[in-house]
Amino acid sequence: MADDDPGEGPVVVKRAAYDAGMKLEAEEKAGKGTAFTIAEDKATACRAAGDTAGAAFWDEVFRFTMTRECVAAGTEIIILEEGESWDYDNEEVIRASGTSQPPSPR
């Protein structure tokens, strides 16, 4: 959680969307637009091509990169690996087997 806003965060994201978002942030630094607009354009292109799975993925990347723009620096990011989900009530990762584990800082 960010120190300046104890009510904010964490940002929860799947590994694939996190990795794609980080690549887009590198493109952003290279002057190719903002990460979230690049993701939005990719989602739009996928929808136009009839690729609903691709559109859903890029929409997820868009939401992640947009969220990163809107939260305070230092807000905790929880990266979910394949088969994991996030229990918002208890603030813990739920493994595919149903067991919980406290979040690890990433």
pLDDT on residue 102: 57
Domain ranges of the chain: 11-101
Element containing residue 86 per DSSP (H, E): strand 85-87
Question: What is the Cβ-side half-sphere exposure of residue 106, based on CA atoms within 13 angstroms?
Answer: 18
* Ranges of the chain whose pLDDT falls below 50: 1-4, 106
Q: Determine how many CB atoms are found less than 10 A away from the CB of residue 7.
A: 6
pLDDT on residue 99: 57
pLDDT on residue 3: 45
pLDDT per position as a tens digit, 64-85: 999 998 999 889 999 999 999 9
Please, what's the largest Cα pairwise distance for the chain?
A: 43
Question: What is the Cβ-side half-sphere exposure of residue 105, based on CA atoms within 13 angstroms?
Answer: 4
**Dihedral pair phi/psi, residue 19, rounded to 5°:** -60, -45
